[in-house]
Amino acid sequence: MKLTLAFSLGACAIVPYILLKEAGADFQTLNVNLGKGQNHQADYLKINPKGKVPALIVDGRVITENVAIHVWIDRQFPQAGLMPSDPMQYIDCLSVLGWCGSGIHPKLTQQARPERYCDLPDSADRVKALGHEGMVEQYELAEKLLAGKNWFFNERFSCADAYFYWTFRRGDAFGGDLSRFKNCIAHRQRMEQRPSVQALLAHEEQVKAEFARAA
Ligand SMILES: N[C@@H](CCC(=O)N[C@@H](CS)C(=O)NCC(=O)O)C(=O)O
């Protein structure tokens, strides 16, 4: 089986990268420079007409949307136990994935791309500030969900941990003081000790160098 992950630096495509590594999958990445708009070029739109990363190409067939990709990886590599085995916890885990994708991610995009939310003159700072406020409200919830725990479910790493890790790391990159989110910070530190995330961080350095050479 040939697996190619459409990937970009710092983007939510890092989540399936982590999960594929956790699963021990053999895969390659197609590195898409979002900063240069490569995701809107014809070659990439043939892969994902939505113009977004991630996309996972499985023997030529494309899967888009993080949640669908995560579930596919879990089903393809069941031995990795990336989703909880208990049916109710499985649903709770899907619920966290949905929340990361549709509850937290839009607050991050609002800060990165305020012009997509409001194009009135001089509105960008206010749009970003509201995005930040909304993001922080979500981290308050995460702080409670992670209280007294190493991982979201069963004291065992799952897709939920990988997805939340990205949302918190991305949110932190916008600046602002997140030091009160002690459980989220500890979760991030635990994530960064996992070999899958270490591999990701090394891969990001390589891709950074590749993008710089192409600039
Ligand atoms: N709903 C999609 C969202 C994907 C998404 O928004 N990806 C961002 C990177 S984090 C992207 O490709 N942005 C490029 C753009 O919007 O121009 C998913 O969960 O996979």
Distance 80 CA to ligand 1 centre (A): 26
**Residue 139 phi/psi, 5° resolution?**
-65, -30
Is residue 65's pLDDT more than 90? yes
Distance 196 CA to ligand 1 centre (A): 22
pLDDT at 154: 79
132-142 burial, b if ≥16 CB within 10 A, otherwise e?
A: bebbbebbeeb
Gap between the Cα atoms of 167 and 204, Å rounded? 17
Distance 131 CA to ligand 1 centre (A): 16
Same domain, 142 and 183: yes
Same domain, 47 and 10: yes
**Ligand 1 atom having least distance to the Cα of 170:** 10
**Ligand 1 atom having least distance to the Cα of 32:** 12
In this structure, the residue with its CA closest to atom 5 of ligand 1 is 52
pLDDT at 215: 84
pLDDT at 28: 98
Same domain, 201 and 189: no
Residue listed under structure tokens 């619920």: 95
Same domain, 34 and 99: no
Average pLDDT of every residue of the chain: 97
CATH number of the domain residue 156 falls in: 1.20.1050.10
Same domain, 92 and 189: yes
Q: What angle do CA 32, 157, 92 make, to 5 degrees?
A: 95
Same domain, 65 and 105: no
In this structure, the residue with its CA closest to atom 12 of ligand 1 is 52
Is residue 201's pLDDT more than 90? yes
Same domain, 65 and 96: no
In this structure, the residue with its CA closest to atom 11 of ligand 1 is 52
The total of structural domains in the chain comes to 2
CATH number of the domain residue 48 falls in: 3.40.30.10
pLDDT digits 0-9 by tens, 154-196? 789 999 999 999 999 999 999 999 999 999 999 999 999 999 9
Same domain, 99 and 188: yes
Is residue 132's pLDDT more than 90? yes
Domain that holds residue 177: 87-194
pLDDT at 85: 95
pLDDT digits 0-9 by tens, 74-113? 999 999 999 999 999 999 999 999 999 999 999 999 999 9
Same domain, 57 and 112: no
Contact 187, 165 (CB under 8 A): yes
